[in-house]
Amino acid sequence: MADYYEVLGVSRGASEAEIKKAYRKMSRKYHPDIAGPEFEDKFKEVNSAYEVLSDPEKKRMYDAGVDPNDPAASAGGSGFDMGDIFGQFFGSGFGGASQGPIPRTQPGRDALADVSIDLKTAVFGGTAHARISTFGLCQTCGGSGAEHGEQPVTCPVCQGRGFVQKVARTLLGQMMTTAPCERCEGHGSIIEHPCPECQGHGRVRVRRDVGVTIPAGIGDGARLRLGSQGEVGEGGGAAGDLYIDVSIKPDELYTRDGDDLHCWINIPMTWAVLGHEAQLETFDGPQQVEVPAGCQPGDVVDLKGLGVTRMGTQERGDILVHVLVSIPTKLSEQEDELIRRFADSHDSGRQELAQSSKPLVSGGRKGLFGKLKGMFS
């Protein structure tokens, strides 16, 4: 029995969210459109593992030692199907699954692509474009696979059954077996004049741009589903779905935290002391940031309702402006004199306190120049 936990790379005690996250990672890693057609079997194995571990009932059976994906499981774990045994001895009409031609039209597989958006698109939503390479409907034959609209004709070998019976010699004697007809590949019919564009498959490999609607508030790493935008099936069968993995590019000014945006502004020391208005570029246009008098390094000014849209609502988070105070490193003689006069007036009598273990000001709040001294030291 396959170890589905090992296939997805999770422990047996993994939560539903951990299993889902691991599946998304592995399905992207081994998807044939990304990793290459040689990984198709591995991709199917990953899907089989997730099909079992994501279903509570199937997972319970698997943990009990029964693989729900094993046909023998329905026979109580006996390891063989009596219908198959009788079918081998007495022909395909006795027991087992019914035999018949394989339909030419098959549903297509899902496809996977990714897009990268800027932070503004994540805030307000918008449209992105994904470039994908997959199977599309053959425009020459319209998906029929036949040239000039011809209809398939009955296979002369299997007479339309799609399979042929053969007598095989075994240790138990002669046994009747069935196998897909090689002439028609199990379809029961043949296309005498295949379409030269798709060689009778009804589909061709194409590259196309797909418009992707990005919902406002989307998170980095989110996956979107576009129904019927994936791979067209054999014989022009219904297309699978297209899954889009969304990544958000770093922004030069803002850092995202949930629905809030954080940024940092550097202001002169005088603005922090006296208060000032600073202009900030936001996704809603220029906004005024009110820096209060006595603002301290690291203080935060909150701009309400200018952050990221909350998914599924009209509400938005905030912009949190972190204030950095720029301390001058060089002063003119006049500036030095003014600062010294200010220090004599503002910090008078604090030298002894600065040398003690007590705080500079009762309550623990440092004076402006006491804080500057601490920063320089």
Binding residues for Zn(2+): 138, 141, 155, 158, 181, 184, 195, 198
CA distance 217 to 126: 10
For residues 176 and 167, the answer to whether their CB atoms sit within 8 Å is: yes
Taking the C-alpha atoms of 297, 303, 309 and 311 in order, what is their torsion angle to the nearest 10 degrees? 70
**Can you tell me the distance from the alpha carbon of 65 to that of 60, in angstroms, rounded to the nearest whole number?**
9
Can you say which residues are annotated as belonging to the binding site? 138, 141, 155, 158, 181, 184, 195, 198
Handedness of CA 182, 187, 192, 197 (dihedral sign): negative
**Percentage helix, strand, coil for the chain under 3-state DSSP, each rounded to 5:** 30, 30, 45
260-268 and 255-257 strand pairing: antiparallel
Q: Which of 253, 294, 244 is nearest to 110 (CA)?
A: 244
54: three-class secondary structure by DSSP: coil
CB 164 within 8 A of CB 181: yes
